[in-house]
């Protein structure tokens, strides 16, 4: 029984880690190197995350400076940032790429908050699926008595409730951060 509970908890922790990674990529109005985390550049025939082939720095709070380690891929990096649909306009000066991060409009803030809520809802669905898998494992375990099965299912449900609350808290904090001017 303990093994099943540990497995369920590990999977739910992975869901939280994934949500955290997704929420970090949503911009909040300030320049942040994590904004470009999901941008991939075609490098030697394979898509490579931009943060692995270049340095990304925040300058003056409103500007990102991307300096590729290999200057020959400057145009590819420029195109990848433009194609990522982040609402950012890269400016290539031949040595580095400068990206001015404009202040968010109220409509864009609401859009990004909705995106954060969408990530949260997707994670809740995954947590519930993990709960279902855990309950199925408990039901199939022949060594457990009826009382032990019921106790395990109750523990899994409590764990699920805890993780759903954590997801709600993370999404609420991110939404507040997005909506603050």
pTM assigned to the model: 0.75
Q: What is the pLDDT of residues 61-84, one digit of tens each?
A: 788 999 999 888 899 998 898 888
Please report the DSSP string for the chain in residue order.
-HHHHHHHHHHHHHHHHHHHHHHHTS--SS--GGGGTT-EEEETTEEEEHHHHEEEEEETTTEEEEEESSGGGHHHHHHHHHHTTSS-EEEE-SS-EEEE-PPPPHHHHHHHHHHHHHHHHHHHHHHHHHHHHHHHHHHH-TTS-HHHHHHHHHHHHHHHHHHHHHHHHHHHHHHHHHH--
pLDDT of residue 94: 86
Residue 138 backbone zone (phi > 0: left; psi -120 to 50: alpha; other: beta): alpha
pLDDT of residue 100: 87
pLDDT of residue 104: 80
Q: Can you tell me the distance from the alpha carbon of 161 to that of 8, in angstroms, rounded to the nearest whole number?
A: 13
pLDDT of residue 171: 95
Question: Quick one: what percent of the chain has pLDDT higher than 90?
Answer: 46
pLDDT of residue 22: 87
pLDDT of residue 44: 87
pLDDT of residue 83: 87
pLDDT of residue 181: 65
Q: Which of 5, 2, 6, 3 is nearest to 135 (CA)?
A: 5
Residues of the chain with pLDDT under 70: 181
């Amino acid at each position: 029984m303990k093994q099943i509970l540990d497995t369920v908890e590990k999977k739910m922790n992975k869901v939280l880690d994934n949500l955290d990674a997704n929420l970090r990529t949503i911009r909040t109005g300030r320049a942040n190197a994590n904004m470009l985390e999901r941008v991939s550049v075609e490098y030697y025939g394979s898509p490579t995350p931009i943060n692995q082939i270049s340095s990304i720095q925040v300058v003056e709070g409103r500007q990102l400076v991307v300096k590729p380690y290999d200057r020959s891929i400057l145009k590819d990096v420029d195109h990848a940032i433009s194609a990522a649909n982040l609402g950012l306009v890269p400016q290539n000066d031949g040595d580095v790429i400068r990206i001015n991060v404009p202040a968010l409009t109220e409509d864009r803030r609401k859009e990004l908050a909705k995106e954060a809520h969408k990530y949260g809802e997707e994670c809740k669905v995954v947590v519930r699926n993990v709960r279902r898998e855990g309950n199925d494992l408990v039901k199939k375990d022949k060594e457990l008595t009826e009382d032990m099965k019921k106790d395990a299912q109750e523990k899994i449900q409590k764990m699920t409730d805890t993780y759903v609350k954590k997801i709600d808290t993370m999404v609420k904090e991110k939404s507040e951060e997005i909506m603050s001017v």
